[in-house]
Amino acid sequence: MADLIPVQTALLSVSDKTGLIPFAQKLAGWGIKLLSTGGSAKSLRDAGLQVVDVADITGFPEMMDGRVKTLHPNVHGGLLALRDNPDHLKAMQAHGIDSIDLLVVNLYPFEETVAGGANYDTAIENIDIGGPAMIRAAAKNHKFVNVVTDVEDYDALLAELDKNSGSTGYRFRQSLALTAYSRTSAYDAAVSGWMTKALEETPRRHVLSGQISQNLRYGENPHQAAAFYMDGSDRPSIATAVQHQGKELSYNNINDTDAAFELVAEFDPADGPACVIVKHANPCGVARGPSMKAAYQAAFDCDRTSAFGGIIALNQPLDADTAKEIVNIFTEVVIAPGIDMAAQQIFETKKNLRLLTTNGLPDVTEASKVVRHVSGGHLLQDRDVGIIDVSELKVVTKRKPTDQELQDLLFAWKVAKHVKSNAIVYAKDGKTVGIGAGQMSRVDSTRIAARKADDMAEVLELQQSPAVGSVVASDAFFPFADGLITAATAGATALIQPGGSMRDDEVIAAADELGLAMVFTGMRHFRH
């Protein structure tokens, strides 16, 4: 097995010319012959470097608006030839093919072009053909050839050459090949994903791709390795957030912060402040308020025990008054669209608290795909962007909900959408007062949420449970009347649910008997 291989000839053809000149100058300093194409060759010449045009070694000029320039045996033969195979060497000699020991290519900016809103034809023209073909060829022959696809690897290659007097080691070339194949795979996945969306078809094969953002200390548990990959989208999210302070985000931090931020985005900032507190991917408190401080306090009061060590998400920039309240308890992460200077200074007293800003909220109506891995494959579905307007609600009981009940029902319904099934949410006056999540039976979630409301009354020293006079949201239909009866016993006066059970009539009759108001949405919000 070849180990140290000297680099004598390099082919450089890049779209992103960041750092190209100093990199090429150092290669030339090692006496490495430089081949190049188009704009890359011009940039190198303008910097005073000696460059051989690829057209001079192929005998063909660039043609068809640059679509054809490197697809030639003199290029691919130089990349693919096995230097220890006599037949390959004879073929090279017979056809005048010279070895290429280093390929430096980054691809047409297809992802950026599509993200910028390019039309179909423009996107097609930004699909690179020659680049991926050369990258795959060089990566396949990493026994002898180095391939660099990322600007960030320039320094690593130069360090390897310095360490080995102009040569590279086999393990280093293997690592470059891995990065190269990962890049072409991600590039093809981006093209496939774009065409899937453009044609509105389900492809026969589905590929996931991402760029590593962070190697994590561990996954959900210390014995699990983990990393965080970004898909390149610019949607405000945990992936695009700026971390201003605090310890490195963990796997669970990222997962929980995503859950919190997606829920708080359901509440339009134009309608006033909203706060979400999440623990283990479930909300333990959600509230709106006349101020962000009031919204936070109401969300915190819903379940002060669970809020300890939780994730806080805000739908408006964090201000100093709210920051003063937040630092009174241990919090893992705070994420908000922005933060004022005074609030940031307050947070600086809590060095371990992770503070993230996103410069905006995601559009909760924007369509996208969600992936869940299962043994042997993965499930792909549309993101749940279902939203119910008051005009779409169907009153199914004799009593109609009051205006206040209706507002609270819609509030609770938004929250229930983000609670693990079976999900039950008690809400009153624009805040949750009890949340039951993730139970195998709906009636158990109803009981747990009512118990949470009792706990809230005890902690806040209230005269009665805040469930009295509350409304209840259920993410799916009540299969029996028992869940509804449990809610009524706790003091709830109105309910919102999808409907659709074979026992709907029985459940409606129980609601009428108890004097409850109930509306059907016709939409389910299972979350597993």
Verify whether residue 223 is a known catalytic residue.
no
161 vs 138: CA distance, rounded Å: 18
Tell me which amino acid residue 185 is. Answer: S
Residue 74 tokens read as 């003199």
CB 64 within 8 A of CB 40: no
Verify whether residue 140 is a known catalytic residue.
yes
Which residues sit opposite 377 in a β-bridge?
374
Q: Which position among 17, 88, 140, 247 bears the catalytic label?
A: 140
Q: Which position among 17, 206, 280, 350 bears the catalytic label?
A: 280
Closest by CA position to 180, among listed 76, 247, 78, 103 = 103
> How does strand 331-336 pair with strand 310-314?
parallel
Closest by CA position to 263, among listed 271, 274, 273 = 274
DSSP letters along 50-76, please? --EEHHHHHS---BTTTTBSS-SHHHH
Tally helices (H) and strands (E) across the chain: 19, 23
Closest by CA position to 435, among listed 464, 488, 474, 405 = 474
* Sheet of strand 102-106: strand arrangement: 52-53, 33-36, 9-14, 102-106, 146-148
Cis peptide before 146 (omega within 30 of 0): no
* DSSP H helical ranges for 63-204: 73-80, 86-95, 110-115, 120-125, 130-140, 154-163, 170-199
Closest by CA position to 198, among listed 121, 86, 284 = 121
Could you give the 3-state DSSP secondary structure of residue 248?
Answer: coil
Neighbours of 86 (CB within 10 A): 8
Give the catalytic positions in this structure.
Answer: 140, 280
